[in-house]
Each structure stands twice: as C-alpha cells, then as structure tokens.
Amino acid sequence: MKLRYSRGALADLEEIFSYIARDNPRAAARLVERIERVSSLIADQPYIGMVTRNARVRRFPIGNYLIVYEIDVDEVIIQYVRHGARRRPWEGER
C-alpha cells in the first residue's frame, strides 16, 4: 500500500525532532528515522497494529511513542505520532 502522512503527523514529527534535538540532535534524527522505517513497515503490513474503536484506525507503539494510522482502500495514512504520556487528540479536554 502507499504511505501518506497527514499534516498533523508531519507536524508531530517536526515537534518530536525539535524537542529531542535541543539536547541531542543525533538521537532526534535516529528516532525520526526509526519512526519512518516503522511507518513503511506498517504500509507493507497494515494490520500489524492494534485495533481501535474505529476498525479503520490502528495504533502501533514504537518506544515511548505511538503511531496512529488509518487504513484506506489503497493507502495507509499516518494520522498522529505522539508520546505515550500525551493526551491523544480524540481524548478531548478534561
């Protein structure tokens, strides 16, 4: 399947890189590369992630981060990449 990142996911990757790069630019680059490699794996095997309430949306953990993606007809769309401790967009405000 094709792989596509939503604008939100691209912003997440930039934010993750910027945050980690303040202390260790090489570690930041390695983490983003790892997330991109796993995203490619997800595109090849889209059903490897855990099912969510929405059957088209799955999540896949990578270290302390969570890749949330949607399976469409001919592509996988990475929707979010978030640290596991952060509130997810679908959880709303408290």
**Residue 70 maps to which CATH number?**
3.30.2310.20
Mean pLDDT of the residues in the chain: 91
Domain holding 34, by residue range, is 2-85
Q: How far is the C-alpha of 82 from the C-alpha of 77, rounded, in Å?
A: 15
- Residue 94 confidence (pLDDT) above 60: no
| pLDDT number for residue 85 | 73
Backbone torsions φ then ψ of 17, nearest 5 degrees: -60, -50
Q: Say if 26 falls within a structural domain.
A: yes
- Mapping DSSP to helix (H, G, I), strand (E, B) and coil, where does residue 52 land? coil
Please name the amino acid found at residue 33: E
The domain tally of the chain equals 1
pTM: 0.87
Q: Say if 54 falls within a structural domain.
A: yes
pLDDT in tens, 53-89: 988 899 999 999 999 999 999 999 999 999 887 665 5
Task: Give the strand pairing for 75-83 and 2-5.
Answer: parallel
Q: Say if 61 falls within a structural domain.
A: yes
Q: Say if 72 falls within a structural domain.
A: yes
Q: Say if 91 falls within a structural domain.
A: no
Q: Which of 40, 34, 35 is nearest to 75 (CA)?
A: 40
